[in-house]
Structure 1
Amino acid sequence: MKKTWQLLPAALLLASAVAQGSAQTFTSAEQPTNVLELYTSQGCSSCPPAEKWLSSLTQSPDLWKQVIPLAFHVDYWDYLGWKDPFANKSYSLRQRDYARSGGTSSVYTPGFVVAGHEWRGWFQNQPLRLPDKQQTVGKLQLTLNGRELNAAFAPEQTPPQGLTLYVARLGFGIDTKIAKGENAGKTIKHDFVVLSLQQVAGDGNHWQSRLPDDARGTRQAVVAWLGVPGQPAPYQAVGGWIKP
């Protein structure tokens, strides 16, 4: 028998937000929100054009509703003479997990993954095409009150076992002047930079955590997605701008 799950009514959520002052609530649709992942590095000479293209999505009407972009800076090019300040070993491992699971053909930069699958259309100047007619999975709701996080998932079908919540803080409008390596002398503008990534264990379909403090960037956003054990592709995702 199918279980019925309900999110809080909109009026109640609004009242809660007013009562808590700075609280923000983000809610996904019932179909999976497409996550666009860019694997990049300040030490890669081919990456600045890809980052510039990703930055254009800040003006997209589909942002946060149909597509959630993430820029993961990998660390495996740091040996070329420039250490990327946004690089994290765990982001490199995430990209390798895609290659091991068959989601991508290999590990390289710039590398794009759309809804868990390798996308090479950018290299042919093709427009981004998002998957349609996806299976309904349920709504993911994220509430941010200051730095306190609460997430709840209302599945439309029996969800996979062991769902884990991932929470990323993103930075925008970050300019970095590169002094060494393949991009020496360039100033690169970054948007959608993953500044931090948390893996949060839940209690049923509920999760609680605290967003790390990171003031880098002229604007910030928060993104959360559910992950299935052994699969890097997001199951459901939600995100939005953080109020100043």
Structure 2
Amino acid sequence: MRRMLIPALVLFPLLVHAEQWQSSNTQTDVIELFTSEGCSSCPPADAFLSSLKNRDGVFRTFIPMAFHVDYWNYIGWKDRFASSEYSQRQRRYARDGNISQVYTPGFVINSQEWRPWFRGARNWETSNEQVGNLTADLQGNRLKVYFADKTRNHLHVAYLGMGIETQVKAGENRGKTLTHDFVVLDVTTLPGEGEWQLKLPAAPDKGQQRTALAIWVSPTDSQQVLQAVGGYLE
């Protein structure tokens, strides 16, 4: 009798990519840059933010983020990273008294305007406020976040693009090749009371060499950053 050999089906466990980040009890410094590819004075500020990727403590003691605003798009170059939501974020800082006015480039550190950069400063006063741990556990596209403060807050999760280049063909930066890091590509916001579970959308593809996550918590009635954590996606 002829026997038919049936190949055995071997089941291997699916490998799910996992990342975990945890802040200390001390508030993580958050450096926000409001910028635009249509602004001729912005490239030096963008370059400074990019330089922070080489500093000790990036994503551990401080997290940089570049919010590209859309209010300069009308002058000849449409910034592909710009969002009206990011412009509104800056305007709300102005309304709440955190910054003096809306302008680019504009730095906000720990939710307060930081103008010493324009006078040559490249270091900021770090926070020593004790606010508790923020922990994030990423399994595939499933994110779990825990914050020591169990009051009702908002969780914000942003994809950041690293190593991006743009050849500007119009506007104030016409003919320049601009390089960007820590570019906010997308933000998801969710209310909660110290614990959050969510499914992240796919990271936008803007030609970045690497992608990172920035995760922070703020009160429901304010943009004040209470605590933040993040890191590169490997």
State the SS of the aligned residue for 2:148: strand
What residue ranges of structure 2 are gaps of 5+ in the alignment? Answer: 1-13
Q: What is the CA distance between 1:130 and its match in structure 2?
A: 2.8
Give the AA of the match of 2:153.
L
Asked if the contact 1:114–1:130 (Cα under 8 Å) also holds between the matched residues in 2, the reply is no
Tell me which protein shows more helix as a share of its residues: 1
Q: What is the CA distance between 1:42 and its match in structure 2?
A: 0.4
| Equivalent residue number for residue 181 of structure 1 | 171
- State the distance in 1 between where 2:163 and 2:103 align: 25
TM-score (norm 2): 0.90
- State the distance in 1 between where 2:157 and 2:164 align: 20
Q: What is the CA distance between 1:231 and its match in structure 2?
A: 1.5
After the TM superposition, which residues 153-172 of structure 1 pair with which residues of structure 2 at under 5 Å, given as runs?
153-155=147-149, 161-172=151-162
My pick for the range that moved more, 169-178 or 212-221, is 212-221
| Equivalent residue number for residue 19 of structure 2 | 24
After the TM superposition, which residues 1-244 of structure 1 pair with which residues of structure 2 at under 5 Å, given as runs?
21-134=16-129, 136-155=130-149, 161-202=151-192, 204-213=193-202, 214-216=204-206, 217-243=208-234
What residue ranges of structure 1 are gaps of 5+ in the alignment? Answer: 1-18
Q: What is the CA distance between 1:65 and its match in structure 2?
A: 1.5
Q: What is the CA distance between 1:21 and its match in structure 2?
A: 4.0
TM-score (norm 1): 0.86
Asked if the contact 1:115–1:233 (Cα under 8 Å) also holds between the matched residues in 2, the reply is yes
Q: What is the CA distance between 1:20 and its match in structure 2?
A: 6.5
Asked if the contact 1:169–1:211 (Cα under 8 Å) also holds between the matched residues in 2, the reply is no
Which of structures 1 and 2 has the bigger CA Rg?
Answer: 2
Ranges of 4+ aligned residues in structure 1 off by more than 6 Å: none
Report the RMSD for the aligned CA atoms in angstroms.
1.4
> CA deviation digits over 1:90-144, x for unaligned, max 9?
100000111111110000000000001100111111122233432x111111111
Give the AA of the match of 1:131.
T
Give the AA of the match of 1:145.
Q
Asked if the contact 1:173–1:219 (Cα under 8 Å) also holds between the matched residues in 2, the reply is yes
Give the AA of the match of 1:235.
L
State the SS of the aligned residue for 1:232: coil
Asked if the contact 1:34–1:130 (Cα under 8 Å) also holds between the matched residues in 2, the reply is no
Give the AA of the match of 2:44.
P
Q: What is the CA distance between 1:215 and its match in structure 2?
A: 2.9
Give the AA of the match of 1:209.
L
